[in-house]
């Protein structure tokens, strides 16, 4: 494991590749969020429990690494499923007849449920804007919803999960092997990490999400924002920060230190990220408890 840590370097994940994948899913996403800017309230009234990505063909696309990433020479097929109500995850899963690596993309489950119940309870119909739900929802939750249901959220999440996939391909399936060991009851695995999300393999993926954000906002903006402003733009990282802070044992400071160290080592630390601002209210002011907003218990990579 430590040898792998020394070998780690960032994968090249061009935003054009990420964008091409997300575009494939837009017909589905637009059923709920037309053009990323509106809400189709009617779509939320479906009585079906929820879309189950693996069972619904229009939610999944199989990509070959050849189509995906020019930089990758090996041929590995990747099944990407978008599922509005589970969580982001990467696994290597046996799919009938073949073996694909498997990425599940999702928005935040708790926020999706809140959005759905707000729409149904207030009998909103037709196509409207996010502002239409504002009168019916707490300000802090409204802000979180605006941050969550965006193209940027899926783009940065996809960068995170693709980096797990490339990590596995390039390091002899070490993630998959660790998951199998763990499932066999072998606890002597990397899952002994206190929290998966602060383990270096997760930090590696989190750095890829930040790298994707940097590509999207451009170098000059990246050099102006501080580390909290960067984390704020990536809802999963924001939720992680809040969770770690809630432990009240400086876990969030240790995690932040690891993130900054890695950004520096990769030479992508923004010019305004050398110091950590004393005030972290940007990340914590919208904190609210919505059940398992961030689920650390499951022992799998997300």
Q: Which residues bind Zn ion (CB under 5 A)?
A: 202, 205, 301
DSSP assigned state of 110? H
Residue closer to Zn ion (CB basis): 294 or 301: 301
Smallest gap, in angstroms, from Cβ of residue 192 to Zn ion?
17
Query: Which phi and psi angles does 79 have, rounded to 5°?
Result: -100, 125
Please report which helix (H) or strand (E) contains residue 79, including its range. Answer: strand 77-82
Residue whose beta carbon is closest to Zn ion = 205
Token readout for 24 is 């494939």
Smallest gap, in angstroms, from Cβ of residue 301 to Zn ion?
5
Residue closer to Zn ion (CB basis): 1 or 146: 1
Smallest gap, in angstroms, from Cβ of residue 10 to Zn ion?
15
Smallest gap, in angstroms, from Cβ of residue 176 to Zn ion?
14
Residue closer to Zn ion (CB basis): 122 or 189: 189
Please report which helix (H) or strand (E) contains residue 253, including its range. Answer: helix 251-265
The residues that bridge with 91 in the sheet, in sequence order, are 102
Residue closer to Zn ion (CB basis): 205 or 239: 205
Residue closer to Zn ion (CB basis): 88 or 251: 88
Smallest gap, in angstroms, from Cβ of residue 167 to Zn ion?
10
Q: What is the 3 state secondary structure string of 95-163? A: ECCEEEEEEEECCCHHHHHHHHHHHHHCCCCCEEEHHHHHHHCCHHHHHHHHHHCCHHHHHHHHHHHHH
């Amino acid at each position: 494991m430590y040898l792998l840590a020394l070998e780690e370097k960032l994968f090249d994940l061009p935003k054009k590749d990420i964008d091409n994948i997300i575009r494939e899913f837009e017909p589905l996403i637009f059923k709920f969020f037309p053009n990323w800017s509106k809400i189709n309230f009617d779509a939320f009234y479906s009585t079906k429990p929820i879309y189950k990505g693996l069972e619904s063909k229009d939610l999944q696309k199989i990509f070959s690494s050849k189509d995906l990433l020019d930089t990758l020479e090996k041929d590995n097929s990747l099944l990407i499923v978008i599922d509005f109500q589970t969580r982001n995850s990467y696994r290597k899963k046996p799919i009938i007849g073949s073996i694909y690596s498997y990425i599940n993309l999702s928005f935040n489950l708790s926020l999706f449920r809140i959005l759905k119940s707000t729409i149904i309870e207030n009998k909103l119909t037709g196509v409207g804007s996010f502002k239409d739900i504002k009168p019916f929802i707490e300000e802090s939750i409204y802000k979180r919803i605006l941050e969550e249901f965006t193209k940027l959220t899926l783009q940065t999440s996809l960068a995170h999960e693709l980096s797990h996939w490339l990590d596995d391909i390039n390091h002899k399936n070490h993630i998959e092997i660790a998951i199998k060991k763990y499932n066999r009851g072998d606890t002597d695995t990397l899952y002994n990490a206190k929290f998966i999300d602060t383990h270096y393999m997760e930090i590696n993926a989190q750095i890829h999400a930040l790298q994707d954000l940097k590509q999207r906002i451009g170098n000059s903006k990246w050099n102006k924002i501080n580390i909290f402003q960067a984390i704020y733009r990536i809802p999963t990282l924001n939720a992680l920060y809040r969770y770690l802070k809630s432990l009240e044992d400086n876990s969030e400071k240790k995690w932040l230190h690891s993130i900054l160290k890695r950004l520096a080592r990769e030479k992508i630390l923004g010019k305004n990220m050398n110091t950590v601002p004393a005030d972290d209210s940007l990340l914590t002011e919208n904190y609210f408890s919505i059940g398992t907003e961030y689920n650390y218990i499951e022992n799998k990579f997300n």
